Amino acid sequence: MSRIIVIILVVPLIGVIPNDERVIVSTNRGEPLVLDERRPSLPAIAFKNLSRRLEGEEVPFLDLTN
């Protein structure tokens, strides 16, 4: 799906954040998901990777095919 979006929008892809209930819970609580070191999640890792890419670092995309 992300490839289709890139083709349609003609913009580089900088990240894909997978769906996870913890995103909604952390948002509702006003607590950043990426700061929960006790229970790291794929979305938290994806957000961190995205921010690293925005800073110019070469970071591989997570494999979300499972």
Does residue 1 form part of some domain?
no
Q: Is residue 3 a part of any domain in this protein?
A: no
Q: Which residue range forms the structural domain that includes residue 62?
A: 14-66
pLDDT digits (tens, 9 = 90+) for 21-61: 988 988 899 988 888 778 788 999 999 999 999 999 999 99
Rounded Cα gap, residues 9 and 3, in angstroms: 10
Please indicate, yes or no, if residue 23 is contained in any of the structural domains: yes
Q: Does the reported pTM lie above 0.85?
A: no
How many independent structural domains does the chain possess? 1
Q: Which residue in 25, 37, 51, 39 sits closest to 17, CA to CA?
A: 51
Q: Is residue 6 part of a domain?
A: no
**Domain membership flag for residue 7:** no
